[in-house]
Structure 1
């Protein structure tokens, strides 16, 4: 399934919890409470998991995962992890985790 379709499914699933699709840096993003918590960049979905948290370390350990660098200028966001579509089965879990972290 294409990344855009997976993104749309996650957005629909999280809508009852106040999440909605929007934009961040010209890319598709998921937002809630006025903050972005996920951002789609090509075949990567990045999640704001909080640097130093167990979820951040777990996500970063996935093969191909990396710190999210939306500009491509080697200035990654340390709280965000970009997970490749090869691990799309894990995207809903990390989307929920990132959404949950907004409440804290």
Structure 2
């Protein structure tokens, strides 16, 4: 399944909880309460997981995962982790976790 199709599936699954598809930095994003919690860039989906949290550390253990650098200018967002498509089976878990942080 392509990253775009997986993104659409996650958006549909989380819609009942207030998630909407939108844009962030010109990329497809998932938002809730006006704030982005996931952003698709290329073949990676980045999630706002909170620097220093166990789930942030968990995400960074996945091979190829890295701090999200939307500009590509070596200025990553410390709260965000970009997870490559090779771990797309993990995307729903991280999307749910990121959304939960926004709606608490």
TM over 0.5: yes
Give the number of aligned pairs: 104
Distance, in Å, in 1 between the alignment partners of 2:100 and 2:48 is 10
Alignment match, 2:78: 78
Distance, in Å, in 2 between the alignment partners of 1:14 and 1:60 is 23
Q: Detail structure 1 runs of 4+ shifted over 2 Å in the superposition.
A: none
Give the structure-2-normalised TM-score: 0.99
Distance, in Å, in 2 between the alignment partners of 1:103 and 1:76 is 24
Q: Deviations over 1:22-49 (max 9, x none)?
A: 0000000000011000000010000000
Q: Deviations over 1:55-98 (max 9, x none)?
A: 00000110000000000000000000000000000000000000
Secondary structure of residue in 1 paired with 2:73: coil
Distance, in Å, in 1 between the alignment partners of 2:32 and 2:14 is 10
Q: Specify every segment of 5 or more residues in structure 2 that has no aligned partner in the other structure, as ranges.
A: none
Give the structure-1-normalised TM-score: 0.99
Distance, in Å, in 2 between the alignment partners of 1:86 and 1:49 is 19
Alignment match, 1:67: 67
Q: Specify every segment of 5 or more residues in structure 1 that has no aligned partner in the other structure, as ranges.
A: none
Alignment match, 1:27: 27
Secondary structure of residue in 1 paired with 2:64: coil
Alignment match, 2:102: 102
Distance, in Å, in 2 between the alignment partners of 1:41 and 1:35 is 17
